[in-house]
Structure 1
Amino acid sequence: MSAALLIIDMQVGLFHGPEKPHDGERVLANIQHLIRQARQQHVPIYAVRHTGPTGSPIAAGSPFWQLLPELDLNAESDHVFDKSRPNAFHGTDLAQQLNANQIDDLYLVGMKTQFCIDATCRVAADLGFKPLLVADAHTCMDTPALPAHIIIEHHNATLGGAFARLINSADVSF
């Protein structure tokens, strides 16, 4: 049984945009820790960026669309791909790549909890992968309806068990 780290939408425009992600620096530090650990253990890293329509702030090639330089991803060794829907499997070859590399355990981290993390986690389970939601390595912004920390707590409680195993970044051992 093999594992992979899936980093979702950790992009300049989402992370450093006008709305700041909840506890963003701590979440980023946890993801950086997981990236280092994955590299040490030769665990493949997949990083996806959300691509907006032409003219949007996160249109392909725009400065805001870029993955965070702080992630120190390597285009040669890491699998970087684009998506246009919340579900990272929709319209991408992610499932085929994971299957080709015999990956079962998929550790999910990134943004935004209630959109792309939620959708990708649910679909990963439906496709037969074993998603592990890293409870302290995903985030979102406050909304008019709910503060971000409640959205995160709710999704950890909802996704944990039914769709994914919850794990904290300190407990990940790929």
Structure 2
Amino acid sequence: MRRQALLVIDVQRALCEGPEAAFEADAVIARIDRLAAQARQTGCPVIFVQHQGRDGYLEYGTEGWALPPALHTAEGDHFVGKTTPDAFNGTTLPALLSSLDVHELVICGMHTEFCVDTTVRRALAHGYPVVLAGDAHTSNGNVHLSPAQVIAHHNITLGNVTSFGPRVRIVDAAGITFSAT
């Protein structure tokens, strides 16, 4: 097995609370929280990536930027800020993964078609195989696709990307097991 890390993308209050809450946000957060607990129990790093916006929306330190209360953190968890949909671009994530000797990523979070999709593809480009928690990422959808359609589309599409070498496996959260070695 390869040492894994759980990468939690943009599960922030402005994206999961109130009228703009992502589709089934509470259920998705509960699945992510269970994944984080399982990762910690097996000695795998848990990394929270938080978007840092401007002009008040997702601005660092604001209430909307913060993690929701239902998503628990623990001593030893890692936190990475980003300013683009790509968690690797101009962030400390590549160096952190290297220092932790991570060789595979389990990815979940918000929003499917933006930051989750971009980060999954960049992980592949960096040589990391990915396990995408198929029921632990979410979206608001758009004028053409419902949130459920966006999620299903990305699960199918990302699971069929072959050009990078490493692949994406789509596994529901309950079926994910972590390996620290």
TM-score bucket (shorter structure): over 0.9
Q: Which residue is 1:111 aligned to? A: 110
Give, in angstroms, the shift of residue 42 of structure 1.
1.2
Unpaired runs of 5+ residues, structure 1, are none
What do residues 63-111 of structure 1 show as CA deviations (whole Å, max 9, x unaligned)? Answer: 101112211113x411012100001001112111112222111000000
Letter in 1 for 2:43: H
Q: How far, CA to CA, are the matches of 1:118 and 1:29 in structure 2?
A: 21
Q: How far, CA to CA, are the matches of 2:38 and 2:25 in structure 1?
A: 20
What do residues 20-68 of structure 1 show as CA deviations (whole Å, max 9, x unaligned)? Answer: 2112222111111101111111110000111101x23211111101112
Matched, 1:156 2:155: yes
Matched, 1:12 2:13: yes
1:87-166 paired onto structure 2 within 5 Å: 87-162=86-161, 163-166=167-170
What root-mean-square deviation, in Å, do the aligned CA atoms of Structure 1 and Structure 2 show?
A: 1.2
Letter in 2 for 1:103: V
Q: Give the secondary structure class of the aligned counterpart of 1:61.
A: coil
Q: Which residue is 1:2 aligned to? A: 3
What do residues 117-142 of structure 1 show as CA deviations (whole Å, max 9, x unaligned)? Answer: 00000000000011111100000113
Residue pair 2:30, 2:70 contacting (<8 A) in 1 also: no
1:25-104 paired onto structure 2 within 5 Å: 25-53=26-54, 55-74=55-74, 76-104=75-103
Identity over aligned pairs, percent = 38
Letter in 2 for 1:167: V
Q: Which moved more, 1:99-108 or 1:119-128?
A: 99-108
Letter in 2 for 1:70: A
TM-score after normalising by structure 1:
0.94
Q: How far, CA to CA, are the matches of 2:79 and 2:21 in structure 1?
A: 24
Q: Where do 4+ consecutive residues of structure 1 move more than 6 Å?
A: none
Letter in 1 for 2:84: R
Q: How far, CA to CA, are the matches of 1:45 and 1:33 in structure 2?
A: 12
